[in-house]
Structure 1
Amino acid sequence: MSQKFVVIDLETTGNAPKKGDRIIQFGAVVVENGRITDQFASLVNPMEKIPVFIEELTGISDSMLKNAPLFEEIAPLVSNLLEDAYFVAHNVLFDLSFLQEELINAGEEGFYGPVIDTVEMARIVYPTSDSFQLTDLAAKESLQHDRPHQADSDARVTAELLLIMLNVVEALPLVTIKELTKLSEGLKSDLHLIFDEISNGKETRIEPLPEHLEVFRGIALRKKTGSEMKEHQVIDFPKTMEEKKALLKRAFTGYEMRPGQFEMMDLVYDAFHKNGHALIEAGTGVGKSLGYLIPSAIFALESNNRVVVSTYTTQLQEQLLSNDVPKLNKALETKVKVALIKGRNHYINMARFEQSLREIEENYDTALTKMQILVLLTQTETGDVDELNLSSGGMLYWNKIKNDRSIFIKTKHWEEYDFYHKAIENAQNANLLITNHSMLLADLVSENGSLPEFEHVILDEGHQFEKAAGKYFGESLDYMSVRLMLNQLGLYEQHQLFYKLENLLNKAGILHSQHQQTSEINQLIADLIYETEDLFKLAGTYARKAMKNKGSKIQASLVPARENRVWSALVTTAERVYFQLRDLQNALEKRMDGAWRSADSFSTREMAILDEVVHLMQDLEQACFMAKRIVTEEGRDVKWIEADTRSMQNSTAFFFRPVHVSESLEAQFFSRKKSVVVTSATLSVNHSFRFIKKELGLQQVLLEKQIPSPFSYKTQVKLVVPEDLPDIKSVSDDDYVVAITEHIISIAEATKGRMLILFTSNEMLKKAYNLIRESGLLEDFILIAQGISAGSRSRLTRNFKRFDKAILFGTSSFWEGVDIPGEDLSCLIIVRLPFSPPDAPLTAAKCALIKQNGGNPFSEFSLPEAILRFKQGFGRLIRTSDDRGLIFVFDRRLVTTKYGNAFLKSVADVPVESKSINEIVDMIHDWL
């Protein structure tokens, strides 16, 4: 490109130039004619002390800046550099606002030319990237980035990234760039100028379309590939250890023999051949994925049967497909036909997307998401939303174009390009079909399920299947979903869907025949908005009163109590909401009857509006059903309210779950399949599978096997219970947090970070985090906390790995599925044994039922559930045979109670040491 780009990066003392924060390093790289032509960097004396955090982050100290120039001294040079150029930066508003302030203070004019934000550009150019941080994008493009958070290095890498991204845009087909140009008018930076120039250049050159692409109805897509037919192929199962070793050597360079993996292969193959169910606990490092994929593939090929592999998370699905299946193909020296299938809503509806492209876009998030999808369509073979990294606003737009069944929108012309149908076709022709527990459960009760017939199943992460089934067989009604639904409909004067429907029907002459006036329905919508607000306010009040002093996140069982005024008001309001939802649904149904009769007279755009109304009516029907369930007293389901006191109304939700799903799973799943292999690293409690069998409803089991981890825990791990901490049951939560905080600080200083702390409550995590931060004793550590630091679990984990002196505070989801091998994690702290709170609604209901049947709720449910969770947490530390580390359990019940022994017997055989904090610090220095 002919323009001049000046890529800027600044290091500063803070985030607020208006509050006196200053630049401490300036970096600029000049890009002209598609190459880097110049660069300039300078430290800058801010005339103030650098905060400790900034010094840790950047490596720039006060002594380094002592003789550096003031910004006023380099300001004329900076102004000269920026003349007639694009101002480019990674998160441009930060750098531009800072530099503008400094330039004006130095007596310069400031910059008022075009700007490019490489974060915004990366979101469009790399729609599938799981992070848009500079370090991650540099790694993705294999760019040398030796000194992150130093302005000269960051500016250089950003400039190199800009050149790569400009080339990516150049390689896009002209139809895509033209659409991007239209949509980019509403972006925060001036990317429309870039897209426009590239578009004009392509039109002049008349470039042919790349071979792998085709254009259909003005949209460029990756060419369709035909679905390969499933073959009947026989591969002999390796019977001897030497045969297995030879097979796996083909899959790995530097293969390490794992006898446990061989054993697992035999067990899975045996279970499938004998048509029996199996429970296989495979410890960390066994090589579980290939341990079940190899025998499953061989069995599927030789018997011409399909094997379904189901996981709890979509991330593990993707990992199997991208990481393990290529190894499987190498090992077997053939291409096993593997398909991945998810729920219909994961796939894009191209007819809806095409229609939405024709509408003028004023919403920033929607415009950006449309641009991301346009680029994705030139790459994707699946059309799956999980490939995209969308903002929350982007997800709202996705809900309008996801692959629901269209009633009014004509989709016939897009049938050949329907990604969901393609996924179904691939599933029909697959030897191995990878799906997730939710999809598998949805298929069980659906008359027209998406999955093809199957009789042999691997349930990976099998310990989560009961929880997934509980969610699936249950229901929920939350404030945000109801509010979004009513906002989508809108009052007539708000010009949303209701307004569009009335105008459309009025134009078609249908409204004249309607009994109900627009004003009546409008009043009904207004009343419903008011009553639902009231319903969720009452729900929050009920939950808060029921769970006094229980922290910010609360769960309160919904128990009929006629003498309770809040309960009575809640029931009365829920009844009103139910009747109003039903009346609104009936009114819209009558309106739609008229629309059906005139369907042929509507334009494509009008059809899209009617289609949106149909889907909204389905949501109304579900909400109506749920409102009725709030007031219905019969039934064996557990009902409860969840809320977060920090954002009471927005977070409030009603939940309905069956107490047990075991009978349903036995009747609808296990009894109907020939062989289900349930596997996980955590299935047994004290060397017994009794608990998991009861939870899953597994009655007939062919084989049960524990395959221990190959790691040498005795030499790789030290397990310590501090002896100078109070018993958790003998002090208040606040006193306990103060005590453990002192220990965390001492241990962190000794280990120099690389520490994961697992909590069982958000409240305790928050209190400990705040106490440590306020103490100032760990100022040079990076503290990353779930629910406090921004970002998803994977983003927090990535940030943790980035810094040596880092502490990661986690709860709930961090107890499992977090993989931090090597020196990135050398210390694990388990704050308390992970028993579910006895008053948690589902726990209370399960325990009450056990007691009612004459059993012991603690030994039959609470203890085994906590042990399985403890095993998951314990497994976070040692991920490879080279890892070494320390595990501290702060809960003294591990060594002072009889049941503590059950926890210890259920994990790897490591001696427990009890020590004072001074002895612990000495031991850490010796050990590490």
Structure 2
Amino acid sequence: MAVEYVVVDVETTGNSFQKGAKIIQISAVVVKHGRIVDQFTSFINPGHPIPPFIKELTGIYEDDVAQAPKFSDLADEIFHLLEGAVFVAHNVKFDRSFIAGELKEAGFSNPIVQTLDTVELANILLPEAESYKLGELSDQMELEHDHPHQADSDALATAELFIQLLEKTRKLPLATLEMLKQLAKKLNNSLFYFFDSIWQEKSREWELLPDHLEQFRGIVLKKKELPALEARVHPPVYPKGRQEKSRLLEQSFGQFEMRSGQLEMMDTVYESFTCDIHAVIEAGTGIGKSIGYLLPSVYFAAAAQEKVMISTYTIQLEHQLLEKEVNILSKALPFSFQAALIKGREHYINMFKFEQTLREKESAYDETITKMKILIWLLYTETGDIAELNLSSGGKLFCKRICNDRTMIQQNDPWSSRDFYLHSRKLASQADIIITNHAMLVADMEHEGLPPCDRIVIDEAHHLEKVVRTKLGQVLDYNKIKFLIGKLGTSDKKKQLSRLNHCISRLGELPEIHTFLLDQYISDLEAETDDLFSMLGQLIKKGKSGRSNSKRQKLRITDSVRTSRSWFHIQVCAERFLDFHNRISKGILERLKFINKHQTMLPPSDLAFMEEMTTFWNQWENIQRQIDPLISGSDSKEVIWLESDQTYLPMRTSVHRQPLHIDWFLSEQLFAKKKSIVLTSASLAANQSFAYFNRETGIDSFNRIEKAIDSPFPYGERVKMFIPTDLPQISTTPMTEFAEIISCHLAAIADAAEGRMLVLFTSYELLKTTYELLQDSNALEDFLLLADGVSSGSRNRLVKSFQQFKKAILFGSGSFWEGIDIPGDDLSCLVVVRLPFSPIDEPLTAAKMDAVKSSGRNPFSAYSLPEAIIQFKQGFGRLIRKQTDRGVFFVFDQRILTSAYGRAFIRSIPPVQYEKGPIEQLIPSVENWLEKK
């Protein structure tokens, strides 16, 4: 007999039935035999007014419910509709609580026994979905959903989603279903019955796995295959002329017009490779930079039978290159080539570890869900890249447990032939083009991990120095140490030392350092951690570093700090900390060495634990290297600083170390060892010179080609810059007062531009204050205001929301100055609140300026100014993203007009018209300029 499902959605006057909220609309869709057979919908009179927010959200008003029945009038019908059926909803607890509550008030018992939550099901069965919200799932799966937040539309969309999830489940292999239902037992009975009923149904027939799947050690996964290598009879000849290149690309791009800048970039990259010389190329917005370096890279790799590596700043850009530009070239070029993407091994799942976790008797909810979604993902993932999964915070912690950072059992790993990281290495070994990221590239310079490659293109090269500094640096925070101490333990069977002792006992060994001693050392270390970080936090507070209105304080550890009485006490505490840490380390290492020596005698479950333990040991051992600088003297080659959120001492206190200069590292490990490195970005030059960039990266001592290729966009016709002259100097104005003034200016500009504004800040505190002032004033009540760090969601989510509303304003800081692509009418007004100079009290900035000054140069002109100009150019680049875009560019910082260096910022961007004056005089010009569209 087929199971009957009733998919329900309710709209209510609030979030809690217990607090008096009532149902105002109900819809129930009956699903049987995998299809919709009926739908019941009705407005319901709640007996009290509908709150304004609910009216706006749902579009349901008093007129809609005034003549509608009360819930008690429909209770009998709803009871019999739900009786004996499986109750399904998107966020089932919410809908179930309201219906059960309303039925009870009407004198009925609760007919709902089994429930299914489509949020939970989608989480498991759609492991890569960007979001599990109904609206976004509807878009992703092309479901009919015309009126979000109305019960009839929501219930229908949920029913269609449920049917698709049901069909997906029925197509799963039996072995996968068996594992899912066993894991579901740990969650709830209804989910177990769901998977079990489908397993029972499928197990009646003989199953033959599709050719692309295999079952290994009980787990079904996609087979790994290496693409066939095609022999090239004749090496391809790089197309020299413009027409020849255009003919190639227009086959894939349609009406393709080769831009002179893109042609120049292609030829420069090819010259760099063929002449074994480095190159620095600034490629303005709109040149087509990715194809500009990919096409010559592919031709060179194919002709010379050498690999070319492409390094990008973010993993997102890696995937974009592989899935978009590489795909275009593969269709356009008259020969075949192979491209492969490779990341650090910690990005890939370790199948042996994962297999062993499936045998754990107990696990937290998030861990269990993550195990289930990985079982689904394994059926189609080709990469095993954890980044493909949409994970909760608990899921991310679980994946850290099973990531591919093994070092102990490599020779005995039964999964080695199916290892995802090793497979990615094989793909890279036979590829012409290897795509990676800066962090992996830097890691490879220290530890060989990538295939040998003498020619590399580094895109977004203005980030290279920052990535190197971060990778070579160290961060140690209170929570990290406490987390590692918490994982140790000796009495709890789940803790690391307890499990180590269990392994030791299997081998009949008695450790030299007894367990009770380690227990005492762990307790002592925990106390010393609290003392140390409390003192560090108090030192920051006493130093009053950072801005007075900022909760996040920083303190650079200088010679004067090290000679203070407070620092002496910190040193003494740090020495005690290290003493207990070293005693614990000795006990751990003793056990690890013995187990490693006899690992062939251990069962698989213990071997999997030893993999986890190796990861733990590497993190634990690293603590000493990070605490040492607190005890040892200062090092002129590095900068050390403390950070703390003063609201949460000492929990939010951390110690940071970074090298002061990284030019030597890149010079020795990159430019001296490789034949040709191409560094490219839209922003490398400052004041028409590459001197700053070359010096910071260390390429200044090597022969190189330098090219600054202008953007093809007609900026003079498409952009106008405005500089209000009725704003005070921010440096001499209290922040709250300045925020009030710019709020008024932003409101006036928003009305003129009808929203579509991106406002860039250098200070998060000023951003937050300005945002709150505009929200509270209702000056922009018709506009959607979105703020980085205030509004919920990632940067990409905020940008997507911004694009969905015509009258929207996006407040951004930090990463919003670059990497955001909002073409067309979605963005027509860009505001830079302040020229992006790094605060002089930033520890790294202060240390670098001191170093520049000690070398006899001017720290402002040699460091601060060029750094700010490059950032300013990045911000300006957000406005025009395609040939037909048009917009206005506001600069609120008076220094662009009043200072001697202000002209350097204006010269750094393409020539555009600009107008200055009081805001009330500028607004008509803004309206006039934007109407010219």
* Residue number in structure 2 paired with 1:144: 144
- Helix, strand or coil for the counterpart of 1:621? helix
- Helix, strand or coil for the counterpart of 1:3? coil
Distance 1:609 1:592 in 2: 11
Note if 1:430 corresponds to 2:395: no
* Residue number in structure 2 paired with 1:628: 628
Match of 2:876, as an amino acid? F
Stretch deviating more after TM superposition (842-851 or 872-881): 872-881
* Residue number in structure 2 paired with 1:841: 843
User: Are the aligned partners of 1:351 and 1:410 in contact in 2 as well (CA < 8 Å)?
Assistant: no
What are the residue-to-residue correspondences of 1:106-117 with 2, within 5 Å? 106-110=106-110, 112-117=112-117
What is the Cα deviation at residue 294 of structure 1? 0.6
| Deviation string, structure 1 residues 318-376 (Cα, Å, up to 9, x no partner) | 11111111101011133321011111111111111111112223211111111111111
Match of 1:665, as an amino acid? L
Note if 1:523 corresponds to 2:532: no
Stretch deviating more after TM superposition (150-159 or 524-533): 150-159
User: Are the aligned partners of 1:230 and 1:337 in contact in 2 as well (CA < 8 Å)?
Assistant: no
Match of 2:343, as an amino acid? K
Stretch deviating more after TM superposition (248-257 or 827-836): 248-257
Match of 1:502, as an amino acid? N
Match of 1:712 among 678, 690, 714: 714
What is the Cα deviation at residue 471 of structure 1? 0.8
* Residue number in structure 1 paired with 2:4: 4
| Deviation string, structure 1 residues 55-111 (Cα, Å, up to 9, x no partner) | 444444555555555544444444343232222222223333344444444554445
What is the Cα deviation at residue 587 of structure 1? 1.5
What are the residue-to-residue correspondences of 1:345-364 with 2, within 5 Å? 345-364=346-365
Query: Relative to structure 1, is the Cα distance of residues 502 and 309 closer, same or farther in structure 2, using a 3 angstrom cutoff?
Result: same
What is the Cα deviation at residue 114 of structure 1? 1.8
* Residue number in structure 1 paired with 2:119: 119
Stretch deviating more after TM superposition (717-726 or 557-566): 557-566
Match of 2:884 among 863, 882, 885: 882
What is the Cα deviation at residue 488 of structure 1? 1.6
- Helix, strand or coil for the counterpart of 2:916? strand
Distance 1:524 1:230 in 2: 61
- Helix, strand or coil for the counterpart of 1:913? strand
Distance 2:411 2:659 in 1: 40
What is the Cα deviation at residue 715 of structure 1? 3.1
Note if 1:535 corresponds to 2:536: no
Distance 1:755 1:111 in 2: 52
Distance 1:508 1:604 in 2: 14
User: Are the aligned partners of 1:28 and 1:155 in contact in 2 as well (CA < 8 Å)?
Assistant: yes
What is the Cα deviation at residue 426 of structure 1? 1.2
Match of 2:761, as an amino acid? F
- Helix, strand or coil for the counterpart of 2:793? coil
What is the Cα deviation at residue 228 of structure 1? 3.6
* Residue number in structure 2 paired with 1:677: 678
Distance 2:268 2:285 in 1: 18
* Residue number in structure 1 paired with 2:811: 809
Query: Relative to structure 1, is the Cα distance of residues 784 and 216 closer, same or farther in structure 2, using a 3 angstrom cutoff?
Result: same
What is the Cα deviation at residue 491 of structure 1? 4.5
Distance 2:375 2:160 in 1: 24
Distance 2:780 2:106 in 1: 37
Distance 1:508 1:599 in 2: 10
- Helix, strand or coil for the counterpart of 1:280? strand
Query: Relative to structure 1, is the Cα distance of residues 756 and 107 closer, same or farther in structure 2, using a 3 angstrom cutoff?
Result: farther
* Residue number in structure 2 paired with 1:480: 479
Distance 2:21 2:904 in 1: 55
What is the Cα deviation at residue 214 of structure 1? 0.5
| Deviation string, structure 1 residues 243-296 (Cα, Å, up to 9, x no partner) | 111111122234344332222211111111111111111222211111111110
Query: Relative to structure 1, is the Cα distance of residues 223 and 658 closer, same or farther in structure 2, using a 3 angstrom cutoff?
Result: same
* Residue number in structure 1 paired with 2:296: 295
Distance 2:257 2:73 in 1: 61
What are the residue-to-residue correspondences of 1:596-611 with 2, within 5 Å? 596-611=596-611
* Residue number in structure 2 paired with 1:248: 249
* Residue number in structure 1 paired with 2:388: 387
Distance 2:687 2:562 in 1: 45
User: Are the aligned partners of 1:409 and 1:607 in contact in 2 as well (CA < 8 Å)?
Assistant: no
Stretch deviating more after TM superposition (625-634 or 20-29): 20-29
Query: Relative to structure 1, is the Cα distance of residues 352 and 254 closer, same or farther in structure 2, using a 3 angstrom cutoff?
Result: same
* Residue number in structure 2 paired with 1:450: 449
Distance 1:46 1:743 in 2: 44
Note if 1:735 corresponds to 2:737: yes
Stretch deviating more after TM superposition (263-272 or 133-142): 133-142
Note if 1:212 corresponds to 2:212: yes
* Residue number in structure 1 paired with 2:495: 496
| Deviation string, structure 1 residues 123-161 (Cα, Å, up to 9, x no partner) | 211112222222322222222333333332222222111
What is the Cα deviation at residue 740 of structure 1? 1.5
User: Are the aligned partners of 2:11 and 2:25 in contact in 1 as well (CA < 8 Å)?
Assistant: yes
What is the Cα deviation at residue 196 of structure 1? 0.9
User: Are the aligned partners of 1:348 and 1:383 in contact in 2 as well (CA < 8 Å)?
Assistant: yes
What is the Cα deviation at residue 505 of structure 1? 2.4
* Residue number in structure 1 paired with 2:33: 33
Distance 1:264 1:862 in 2: 29
Stretch deviating more after TM superposition (882-891 or 813-822): 882-891
Point out where structure 1 has 5 or more consecutive residues left out of the alignment: none
- Helix, strand or coil for the counterpart of 1:190? helix
Query: Relative to structure 1, is the Cα distance of residues 653 and 271 closer, same or farther in structure 2, using a 3 angstrom cutoff?
Result: same
> What TM-score, normalized to structure 1?
0.95
Distance 1:411 1:647 in 2: 46
User: Are the aligned partners of 2:916 and 2:922 in contact in 1 as well (CA < 8 Å)?
Assistant: no
Q: Give me the CA root mean square deviation.
A: 2.4
Note if 1:194 corresponds to 2:221: no
Aligned sequence identity (%):
43
What are the residue-to-residue correspondences of 1:690-709 with 2, within 5 Å? 690-699=691-700, 700-709=702-711
What is the Cα deviation at residue 429 of structure 1? 0.7
| Deviation string, structure 1 residues 419-462 (Cα, Å, up to 9, x no partner) | 1111111111110000111111111122xx11111111100010
Match of 2:505, as an amino acid? N
User: Are the aligned partners of 1:230 and 1:431 in contact in 2 as well (CA < 8 Å)?
Assistant: no
Query: Relative to structure 1, is the Cα distance of residues 331 and 859 closer, same or farther in structure 2, using a 3 angstrom cutoff?
Result: same
What is the Cα deviation at residue 858 of structure 1? 0.9
- Helix, strand or coil for the counterpart of 2:633? coil
- Helix, strand or coil for the counterpart of 1:492? coil
Query: Relative to structure 1, is the Cα distance of residues 97 and 627 closer, same or farther in structure 2, using a 3 angstrom cutoff?
Result: same
What is the Cα deviation at residue 27 of structure 1? 3.3
> What TM-score, normalized to structure 2?
0.94
- Helix, strand or coil for the counterpart of 2:529? helix
User: Are the aligned partners of 2:230 and 2:336 in contact in 1 as well (CA < 8 Å)?
Assistant: no
Stretch deviating more after TM superposition (411-420 or 712-721): 712-721
Match of 2:764 among 741, 762, 774: 762
What are the residue-to-residue correspondences of 1:596-675 with 2, within 5 Å? 596-635=596-635, 636-675=637-676
Match of 1:828 among 827, 830, 834: 830
Distance 2:904 2:623 in 1: 44
Match of 1:171, as an amino acid? K
| Deviation string, structure 1 residues 681-738 (Cα, Å, up to 9, x no partner) | 1111122211111111112343222222222223333322223222212211111111
User: Are the aligned partners of 1:347 and 1:402 in contact in 2 as well (CA < 8 Å)?
Assistant: yes
- Helix, strand or coil for the counterpart of 1:729? helix
User: Are the aligned partners of 1:127 and 1:372 in contact in 2 as well (CA < 8 Å)?
Assistant: yes
Distance 1:656 1:230 in 2: 49
Query: Relative to structure 1, is the Cα distance of residues 784 and 306 closer, same or farther in structure 2, using a 3 angstrom cutoff?
Result: same
Stretch deviating more after TM superposition (644-653 or 632-641): 644-653
User: Are the aligned partners of 1:271 and 1:675 in contact in 2 as well (CA < 8 Å)?
Assistant: yes
Stretch deviating more after TM superposition (274-283 or 701-710): 701-710
Match of 1:605, as an amino acid? S
- Helix, strand or coil for the counterpart of 2:501? helix
Aligned residue pairs total 924
Distance 2:132 2:576 in 1: 47
Distance 1:607 1:574 in 2: 35
